[in-house]
C-alpha cells in the first residue's frame, strides 16, 4: 500500500490558512512530511491542532493555501482522498445501539469494501474482539471501544492515519493494547497524532510539530530535537494562551 505511493512526501502543506473574519485558526502553516513518518502535533488549547487535522481530513476547507495528502488535494480530490485516510479519535465514532460486527459492516458498506464479512472478521480478530462481536457496543468498556474504533479506522486499509488524542481516557491496559496495535502497523503507514502528552508524543514520533496561535513554532525530525530545548519551547507556547 505505502509502497505504491510514488510521491516521497505523505503530507505537503503550503501556507495553509483557515480564518473567519480576523480570527485565524490556522495562519500560514507550511511543512512537508515524508511517507511512513509519525508526526506528533503539540500545542496549547486553541492553537489550531484540531483545525489542522480537520482540514487535512477534508472535514473543513482551507480559506487559503493548499494541502496535499498522498498527492491528493484536500479540496479538489476530497472524495477520492477519503479512501486513503483513517481517523482514530478520543470519541469512538461508533453507534452504541449496533453490535460490534454491525458497526464494522456498516462502515465497510460506506467505504464500498469488497467481501465485507471477510474483512470485518479479519479485523475483529486483530483487535481481539471476535468473542464480543455480537454484543452492542453500548456495553463495551472504554478500552474495547477504542480497539473497535481502531478496527473501524483500518477497515479500508488507509495509508495515512490521523490520531486525535487517542490516549485520553484510556486505562493503562488499554493504552498497551493501543500501543501494540500502532506498533504493528507503524512501518507501513503515515501517522499524524494530536497529543497533550509530551512524553508519549515524543516517544512515538519521527517528526514533531508545535503549533501556537495557528502558526508553526517548531517543525523538526525527532533526531534533531534536543529534548530539554523542546520542552522549554513547548512550555513557552502554552504561556501564549489561547489564540
Partner 1 sequence: MASLSGRQFRAMVKKDIVMELRTKEMIMSMGLYSLLTMVVYFVALSQTGSNFDPRDIAAGLLWLAFIFTSMLGLNRSLVHEKDQGCLEALLLSPVDRPVIFFAKVIGNLIFLLAVEALTIPVFGFLFLQGSSLDIGSMALVPLIMFAGSVGIAGVGTLLATMSVNTSGKDFVLPVLFIPLMYPLLLGAVSATAAAITGGPDAMGGFWIGMAWVVGYDVIMLLASYGLYEFIVGA
Partner 2 sequence: MKSASTRALIALALGGVLTLGAFLGTFFWAGVPDFGFVRTAGRAESVRYQGPFKQEVAEARYLQNYVGYRAEVETDGDIVQGTITEASDDAVTLDADGDSVTIDAADVTSAIVSGSTYGRPDWGQKIFYFHVPVAEISFIVFAVAAFYSLRFIMTRRRQYDQKARVAMEVTLTFIMLTMATGILWTRAAWGVWWEWEPRLTTYFIMTLLVIAYFVLRNSVEDEERRALYAAAFSILGFIDAPISFFITRLIPSNHPVIERGGLETPMLVSFIVAQIGMLLVGYAIYQLRMGEMKLTDRIEHAKTLLEG
Binding stretches for partner 1 (CB under 8 A): 57-60, 79-80, 82-83, 85-87, 89, 91-98, 102, 106-107, 109-112, 136, 152
Task: Work out how close the CB of 59 gets to partner 1 at its nearest, in angstroms, rounded to a whole number.
Answer: 6
C-alpha cell at 21: 473574519
Closest distance to partner 1 from the beta carbon of 72 (Å): 12
Residue 75 CB, nearest approach to partner 2 (Å): 12
CA distance 241 to 217: 14
Q: Should residue 239 be labelled a site residue for partner 2 when binding is judged by CB under 8 A?
A: no
Give the alpha-carbon dihedral of 241, 58, 143, 112, to 10 degrees: 180
What is the C-alpha separation between 105 and 108, in angstroms, rounded? 5
Question: Judged by CB under 8 A, does residue 228 bind partner 2?
Answer: no
Nearer to partner 2, 100 or 212 (CB): 212
Cell numbers representing residue 164 in the block: 486525535
Which partner in partner 2, partner 1, none is near 21 (CB below 5 to 8 A by kind)? partner 2
Cβ 163 to partner 1, closest distance in Å? 13
Strands in 72-159 per DSSP E: 72-73, 85-89
The residue within the footprint of partner 2, chosen from 36, 63, 99, 233 (CB under 8 A), is 63
3-state secondary structure of 50: helix
Within 151-190, the residues that bind partner 2 by CB under 8 A are none
Q: Please provide residue 33's backbone torsions phi and psi, each rounded to the nearest 5 degrees.
A: -125, 125
Task: Determine what percent of the chain falls in helix, strand and coil, rounding each to the nearest 5.
Answer: 40, 30, 30
Minimal distance, residue 216 CB to partner 2, in Å: 16
Residue 195's closest CA among 234, 146, 144? 234
Which of 8, 22, 134, 224 contacts partner 2 by CB under 8 A? 22
Chain residues that interact with partner 2, rule: CB under 8 A = 20-23, 61, 63, 213, 240-241
Amino acid at each position: 500500500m505505502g509502497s505504491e505511493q510514488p510521491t516521497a512526501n505523505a503530507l505537503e502543506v503550503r501556507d495553509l490558512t483557515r480564518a473567519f473574519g480576523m480570527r485565524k485558526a490556522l495562519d500560514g502553516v507550511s511543512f512537508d512530511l515524508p511517507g511512513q513518518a509519525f508526526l506528533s502535533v503539540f500545542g496549547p488549547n486553541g492553537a489550531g491542532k484540531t483545525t489542522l487535522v480537520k482540514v487535512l481530513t477534508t472535514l473543513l476547507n482551507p480559506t487559503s493555501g493548499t494541502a496535499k495528502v498522498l498527492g491528493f488535494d484536500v479540496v479538489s480530490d476530497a472524495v477520492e482522498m477519503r479512501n486513503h485516510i483513517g481517523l482514530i479519535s478520543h470519541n469512538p465514532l461508533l453507534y452504541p445501539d449496533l453490535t460490534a460486527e454491525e458497526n464494522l459492516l456498516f462502515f465497510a458498506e460506506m467505504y464500498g469494501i469488497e467481501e465485507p464479512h471477510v474483512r470485518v472478521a479479519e479485523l475483529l480478530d486483530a483487535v481481539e474482539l471476535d468473542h464480543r462481536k455480537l454484543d452492542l457496543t453500548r456495553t463495551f468498556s472504554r478500552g474495547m471501544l477504542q480497539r473497535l474504533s481502531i478496527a473501524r479506522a483500518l477497515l479500508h486499509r488507509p495509508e495515512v492515519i490521523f490520531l486525535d488524542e487517542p490516549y485520553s481516557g484510556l486505562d493503562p491496559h488499554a493504552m498497551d493494547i493501543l500501543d501494540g496495535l500502532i506498533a504493528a502497523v507503524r512501518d507501513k503507514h503515515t501517522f499524524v497524532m494530536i497529543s497533550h502528552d509530551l512524553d508519549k508524543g515524543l516517544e512515538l514520533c519521527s517528526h514533531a510539530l508545535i503549533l501556537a496561535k495557528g502558526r508553526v513554532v517548531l517543525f523538526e525530525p525527532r533526531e534533531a530535537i534536543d529534548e530539554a530545548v523542546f520542552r522549554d519551547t513547548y512550555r513557552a507556547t502554552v504561556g501564549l494562551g489561547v489564540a
